[in-house]
Amino acid sequence: MISDSESTTSTGSEDNESLDEGPETKEQLMCFRLSSIGKGDAYSSLKATQTTSHILVRSIHCVWFTVEWNDGGESWEPESALQRFQPEMVYVYWDAKMGGREGATQFDLFHVFTILDHSSKRDYSRRRAKKVEYKIQWVGYDEKGHSWEPAARVAILVPRMKEEYDEMHGL
């Protein structure tokens, strides 16, 4: 599994530029503005108004978006962060692309966004054993892209997330 820290690549300026002196190129955009959300009142009314483009970080199968904000700012944001903050922006963007997210990225590896639910079924191949499956939401996908995955696979993909989910649900 790829950790979040491995997915942060420098694609823009780390300096906070004033709104009057906007960046001249996309490479100079502020990077990962969503990391400041919740750290004070400055961003309490911040809302993404448009996702204008994306870049692929193929080595780790991740996407970064160029996002325009209601305060006139623009920044690069990781897809997973934007999905957590304002999911409809991600879904609308991919729905507008020919072939959706899968067609636009051609990725064959996906990242778990969250565990939504679980199901326990009797495994008749083993005596008294229960087969547990988890309903998974994937980064970049809405409810149409949810899937049921075996517990063993989820434990490999996102062990900490599974452990927290199991603890919260008494599994």
pLDDT tens digit string along 48-67? 899 999 999 999 999 999 99
pTM over 0.75: no
At 8, the pLDDT band (50, 70, 90 cuts) reads very low
Which residue segment(s) compose the domain that 76 sits in? Answer: 4-105
Number of separate domains in the chain: 2
Based on the domain organization, do 99 and 149 belong to the same domain? no
Whole-angstrom CA distances from 35 to 8, 136, 143, 157 are 12, 24, 25, 24
At 78, the pLDDT band (50, 70, 90 cuts) reads very high
Based on the domain organization, do 150 and 72 belong to the same domain? no
Predicted pLDDT at 43? 52
Q: Encoding tokens for residue 42? A: 């400055």
Based on the domain organization, do 100 and 123 belong to the same domain? no
Based on the domain organization, do 90 and 135 belong to the same domain? no
- Cα first-last separation, the chain: 23
CA distance 71 to 22: 12
